[in-house]
Amino acid sequence: MWRNNFSEFNFINLIQADCSKFDFNSIGPIKLTFLDVDLYLPTKKALENTFNATVKGGVIIVDDVREDNAYDGAHQAYIEFCNENNIQPNIIGNKCGIIFKN
């Protein structure tokens, strides 16, 4: 379904990989990332890796980070990552967290 929703945007590349092993620098520089991982450890690792590979002015959007969401692992990882990196958590829409790399 995700692929169908973005099929008309030829500049978007869907990557499904083990985020603990994937070399994010191999696809960099990254300007925009949408993480839809849900679980704590993979979300935390993906945030660390994508943030390091994201260019200044880039954006990371993390799905399912609202505190009352069923996927509390994504919420915990997002909040911890923001706190560890002195980033103000910012929930947009109904459930996404956004990080701007300055």
Ramachandran region, residue 62 (left: φ > 0; alpha: ψ -120 to 50; beta: rest):
beta
Pair type for strands 91-92 and 54-62: unpaired
* Total-model pTM: 0.83
Question: Domains along the chain?
Answer: 26-100 (3.30.110)
Predicted local distance difference test score (pLDDT) of residue 3: 67
pLDDT tens column, 59-92: 999 998 877 766 678 999 999 999 999 999 999 9
pLDDT tens column, 2-27: 667 777 877 777 777 787 788 888 88
Q: Of residues 42 and 9, which shows the higher confidence score?
A: 42
Give how far Cα 21 sits from Cα of 16, 18, 24, Å. Answer: 12, 6, 9
